[in-house]
A and B are shown apart, each in its own frame.
Chain A
Amino acid sequence: QKEVEQNSGPLSVPEGAIASLNCTYSDRVSQSFFWYRQYSGKSPELIMSIYSNGDKEDGRFTAQLNKASQYVSLLIRDSQPSDSATYLCAGGMNTGFQKLVFGTGTRLLVSP
């Protein structure tokens, strides 16, 4: 099992809908989780970090962490065409130095 797994998509949602992006992780990953957005040809940019079970909201974005089920998700409310991008999930490994590992990303397409 890979450390962090994501469905590659594409996930297609209409403008104004809620986009739900999911990520599962292995026993080798814990403690800290991050969501990044990457537009085509650009570098990833950090959207949110989450460390504790539950929800964390920032504007239209909500990150959810469930350590018992080993998944982390990102909800995007009122999706806009400008949200169309690849979303990368990342987590810190359970090693002494907490290596950061990334999923392969989910492509989101928001149609007008």
Chain B
Amino acid sequence: EAGVTQSPTHLIKTRGQQVTLRCSPISGHTSVYWYQQALGLGLQFLLWYDEGEERNRGNFPPRFSGRQFPNYSSELNVNALELEDSALYLCASRGGSYTEAFFGQGTRLTVV
């Protein structure tokens, strides 16, 4: 069974540009979490989607947005990129309440 897949794995963007990151959850999982992890720091919660709805949002500016599609895949959009957006962006999927979450391999975003 395929795990959580994220694309692309690496990305270099210029300050001010926009980027879209993608996540495909494990088959049967309806819940997707997005996290930002800057170098040497902990997971920062970005967004949580479940059954196509945004359930919760972390303390990030509105230029961070996303959505979940009917097949439960998800995308994270970041507009007007800033240097401090350089980080590992992680997606995790979960099959439901009380169950484990599984992470994708992440997307390493570098903003120059």
Contact residues of A with B, CB < 8 Å?
31-32, 34, 36, 41-46, 49, 51, 88, 90, 92, 97-105
Question: How many residues of B are in contact with the other chain, CB < 8 A?
Answer: 22
Is B97 an interface position by the 8 A CB rule? yes
Nearest Cβ in chain B — how far from A81, in angstroms? 20
Known: A99-B48, A104-B42, A105-B42. A31 touches B98 (CB 8 A): yes
Is B104 touching A43 in the complex (CB atoms < 8 A)?
A: yes
Is A45 touching B103 in the complex (CB atoms < 8 A)?
A: yes
Interface of A is mostly: strand
29 contacts between A and B (CB under 8 A): A31-B98, A32-B97, A32-B98, A34-B101, A36-B103, A41-B88, A42-B105, A43-B88, A43-B90, A44-B43, A45-B103, A46-B101, A46-B102, A51-B98, A88-B42, A88-B43, A90-B101, A92-B97, A92-B98, A98-B97, A99-B55, A99-B56, A100-B92, A100-B94, A100-B101, A103-B42, A104-B42, A104-B43, A105-B42
